[in-house]
Amino acid sequence: MNPSTHYDVLIVGAGVTGTALLYELAKFTDLGRLCLVEKYDDVATVNSHAHSNSQTIHCGDIETNYTLEKARSVKRTAYMVINYATKLPAEERDRIIQRMPKMVLGVGAEECRYIRERHARFKGLFPRMELLEREAIAELEPNVARVEGRWRAEEIVATGTADEYCAVDFQALAQSFSDACARLDRNSGKQITQLFSTKVESIRKEGGDYVLRTNRGLLQARAVVVCAGGHSLLMAQEMGLGLEYSCLPVAGSFYFAPEALNGKVYTVQNPNLPFAAVHGDHDVKERGKTRFGPTALMLPMLERYNRSSIREFFKVQRFDHDVAAVVWDLMKVPDIRNYVLRNFLYEVPWLNRQLFVREIRKIVPALQASEISYAEGFGGIRPQLIDKRARKLRMGEAKISDGGGIIFNMTPSPGGTSCLGAGEGDMRAIAEYLGARIDERAFEQELLMGHEDTRDHEDPATEALATAV
């Protein structure tokens, strides 16, 4: 083993989660030899790419599937992204995050009642969030409140903010983390290596270290973190870990319409459906277009538009009677069964527009099928996990570890928004395992303070640190 290939920590996957962790380890710990490997030739080419997600910073205020406690946790991680980006030069900041209106819309008496009750419960956590009656909605999103100049027929109310950082290009964010690490490599005295076009073929534990076989030779590290979506589960299972899980990949597709919204409009989620409700987004990359979606289609692949990942899916799917029982239980729920059927039809040319426009009209009632188009090449895959022991679909984030120095990350929730929050957890776990030191003051000043102060002021240690600063 060549000593130049031996690292303190090696990260697999250069999406926004992997690059965020590399940045946090490089900036806030005293670990001196770090490496990131990526099988593609650039950062964020899969699910973190702007085409593969809804470009949303999920704070928990307009996501109706979040409990108050979940929203509190999500808010902290979301503002870590905003605090980081708003400290950058304006040109770089504006490539990463954008301000625009955002709201969750209630349509009809039942949903409107729910929105009013939810606003009362959540306004303490989100003091800038307003209750928006139809006149206020019309000021922010006239195409939502009016049809040909007249008020829409249904009762509507929303809760949201008129001007907030809520849109993000996760690919640009990942590139910013990568660029910052390249500067630290040049100027800090640390070795921070980023290897692209480097595919990890296997991982094994050898003594106290981990050895990775790649298409460019062997790499060795004291600790490893894998941030590779569904491939994280594949790599874990090849090491005999995470065998209690199977994978249910859910693909999301989108539709484009002419510029119909000024910001983001979410809808109330059906509690019987484990997938996101349709929303409309002012696209940050495709100028002059509004993107609607996502649909949710179960596809047998770990990466959208990558046929070679079909074979890899069947390796991690590990179909047996426990997996069949979970799928059967899901399909027994009428709302889920009908939802799955509709989403298959949303992929059928011509018919898809006729059907999906009915979903969109809940947000923009005047839209016609002829005005929307299927967004070819847009949409990613989220590998939802099936817990075979518990016989249930496991929503949100999952981590697998050997109890030592290797961590496998899957399905971070809520997506790229959690990149720095998930990275913090991994940073702390790795630092404890390796006996490394974390610069808590620098971490707080950069990621927990700035645009929004998300420090826990009830923690005496945090208060003492704030006083010292």
What's the CATH code of the domain at 182? 3.50.50.60
Segment 217-227 mean pLDDT = 97
Tell me how far apart the alpha carbons of residues 431 and 462 are, in angstroms, rounded to a whole number: 19
**Is residue 227 situated within a structural domain?**
yes
Give 410's pLDDT tier (boundaries 50, 70, 90): confident
pLDDT for the residue numbered 412? 65
Q: Is the pLDDT of residue 462 over 50?
A: no
What is the domain extent for residue 400?
Answer: 1-55+169-244+394-438
CB-side exposure of 260: number of CA atoms within 13 Å?
27
**Is residue 215 situated within a structural domain?**
yes
pLDDT digits (tens, 9 = 90+) for 348-378: 888 999 999 999 999 999 999 999 999 999 9
**Is residue 339 situated within a structural domain?**
no
pLDDT for the residue numbered 468? 34
pLDDT for the residue numbered 334? 87
Q: Is the pLDDT of residue 459 over 60?
A: no
Share of the chain above pLDDT 90, in %: 78
pLDDT for the residue numbered 382? 86
pLDDT for the residue numbered 393? 84
**Is residue 42 situated within a structural domain?**
yes
- Residue for token pair 């939502």: 144
pLDDT for the residue numbered 2? 56
CA triplet 367, 371, 375: central angle to 5 degrees?
A: 115
pLDDT for the residue numbered 469? 32
pLDDT digits (tens, 9 = 90+) for 108-132: 999 999 999 999 999 999 999 999 9
**Is residue 200 situated within a structural domain?**
yes
C-alpha 235, offset from chain centre: 21
Q: Which residues of 240-253 are buried (b: 16+ CB within 10 A; e: fewer)?
A: ebbeebbbbbbbbb
Tokens representing residue 201 in the block? 């073929």
pLDDT for the residue numbered 297? 87
- The helix/strand/coil state of 405 is coil
Segment 148-172 mean pLDDT = 96
Indicate the number of domains in the chain.
Answer: 1
Question: What DSSP state is assigned to residue 402?
Answer: -
DSSP string for residues in 363-374: TSTT--GGG-EE
**Is residue 2 situated within a structural domain?**
yes
**Is residue 230 situated within a structural domain?**
yes
Segment 12-30 mean pLDDT = 98
Q: Is the pLDDT of residue 274 over 70?
A: no
pLDDT for the residue numbered 456? 80
pLDDT for the residue numbered 442? 98
pLDDT digits (tens, 9 = 90+) for 72-82: 999 999 999 99
Q: Is the pLDDT of residue 12 over 90?
A: yes
Share of the chain above pLDDT 70, in %: 95
